[in-house]
Amino acid sequence: MAPTDVRSLVIPKSSMSSGQVSWRSPSNIALVKYWGKFGNQYPRNPSVSFTLSAAYTETTIQYKPREDYKKKLSISFQFDGRSMPTFEQRIEQYLIGLISQFNFLEQFDLDIQTRNSFPHSSGIASSASGMSALALCLCSIEDHFFQTLQEDQAFRTKASMTARLGSGSACRSIYAHAALWGETGAVDGASNEYAVSLESMLHPSFVAYQDAILLVSREEKSVSSSAGHGLMDHHPFASVRYEQANRNLQSALECLQHGDLERFVLLCEQEAMQLHALMMSSSPYYLLIKPNTLAIIQAVQSYRNETGIPICFTLDAGPNVHLLYPKENKDAVENFINDKLVNYCHQGAWIKDEMGLGPLQSL
């Protein structure tokens, strides 16, 4: 990407105007996990994810020329139409950190309205969809005033880089279908700074791949992702993990390219188990899976053995289970979930999701 001259992103007084911008950005589910980071939100190993569809955040920023310069930034923030001081503080810190790249942030009163398609207390991480939606809005404002991001690739690259600074996994949500983030020789243009699209290399077997998100618990996470990443710094298995993540990444890319579902299933499950094994063996250790998480895992393994359907599970940093399976098995798997697995879900709740087309700008 051509470097942007950051000093030029101050809007001349004569060009200042009010306006509004909105983006809907989806969540994503990692197959090879990002776990461990360094420096300014750089990943210790490359990761790969599927972009989702039904689980998304919608964010609108209204901006108007600022009159009062008492504070560094002037923002108001509402989540679902209500103020949320903890979110607001995080967003404010994030935006303050971005002023050197988006100088115009200081020139406006910003009113940020955001909502998720999934309930806040569902245990689904909202940072990937939330931070990517916000980053996309900032890039649209930049492009409106400076026309610096007219090309789709330049726009997405900057949006992905900006999203990464808010939450690492958010940088992958910028692309349709599937994305890779982190340095690796395996994919041209791969970078620690931003994610790249894997759309062009996906085998047709993965198109419209399904993701059923089984909500085992709706409790807030007991350990934030950032704290979890931090525990990798002195983890006894860290270097072995990063080597293995790189090998798994290579393997995942081969599966995605050749449509090797059998190997894909084993790989996804191994990655999920390893993520939680790392948490359970850190100091201090912590345990995020619940008895019902394990009950689902065992039921899924038996179902796969009985039916031959290439369904597999993966996990985020929490107890909820993502079931991944081909679209052609949708009906059979949904029956299985409704017959057997809803019993293990909190109040029977689960979300039907699938690979999606990436963020959408609303006019």
In angstroms, what CA-CA distances link 168 with 108, 162, 201?
A: 27, 10, 23
- Is residue 358 within the footprint of ligand DP6 (CB under 6 A)? no
| Residue 199: burial class (beta carbons within 10 Å; 0-12, 13-18, 19+) | middle
Token pair, residue 108, equals 């406006």
Residue 291: how many CB atoms within 10 A of its CB?
Answer: 10
- Is residue 34 within the footprint of ligand DP6 (CB under 6 A)? yes
Among 25, 27, 45, 47, binds ligand DP6 (CB under 6 A): 47
Candidates 3-11, 28-36, 76-84, 114-122: pick the segment binding ligand DP6 (CB under 6 A). 28-36
- Is residue 44 within the footprint of ligand DP6 (CB under 6 A)? no
Minimum CB–partner distance for residue 302 and ligand DP6 (Å): 26
Asked if residues 257 and 201 have their Cβ atoms less than 8 Å apart, the reply is yes
Minimum CB–partner distance for residue 10 and ligand DP6 (Å): 29
- Is residue 225 within the footprint of ligand DP6 (CB under 6 A)? yes
Bridge partner residues of 204 (DSSP): none
Whichever of 34 and 175 has its CB closer to ligand DP6, that residue is: 34
- Is residue 281 within the footprint of ligand DP6 (CB under 6 A)? no
List the interface residues with ligand DP6, window 246-275 (CB under 6 A).
Answer: 275
Minimum CB–partner distance for residue 171 and ligand DP6 (Å): 9
| Residue 103: burial class (beta carbons within 10 Å; 0-12, 13-18, 19+) | middle
Candidates 15-23, 133-141, 161-169, 287-295: pick the segment binding ligand DP6 (CB under 6 A). 161-169
- Is residue 50 within the footprint of ligand DP6 (CB under 6 A)? no
Amino acid symbol at 41 = Q
Amino acid symbol at 285 = Y
* Residues whose CB falls within 8 Å of the CB of residue 219, separated by 6 or more in sequence, listed in order: 123
- Is residue 229 within the footprint of ligand DP6 (CB under 6 A)? yes
Distance of alpha carbon 18 from alpha carbon 32, whole angstroms: 42
Among 167, 210, 217, 293, binds ligand DP6 (CB under 6 A): 167
List the interface residues with ligand DP6, window 177-216 (CB under 6 A).
Answer: none
* Residues whose CB falls within 8 Å of the CB of residue 125, separated by 6 or more in sequence, listed in order: 27, 169, 225, 316, 317, 318
Distance of alpha carbon 127 from alpha carbon 114, whole angstroms: 12
Whichever of 24 and 33 has its CB closer to ligand DP6, that residue is: 33
- Is residue 276 within the footprint of ligand DP6 (CB under 6 A)? no
Contacts with ligand DP6 by CB under 6 A: the residue count is 17
The residues that touch ligand DP6, with contacts defined as CB under 6 A, are 30, 33-35, 41, 47, 125, 127, 167-169, 225-226, 229, 275, 316-317
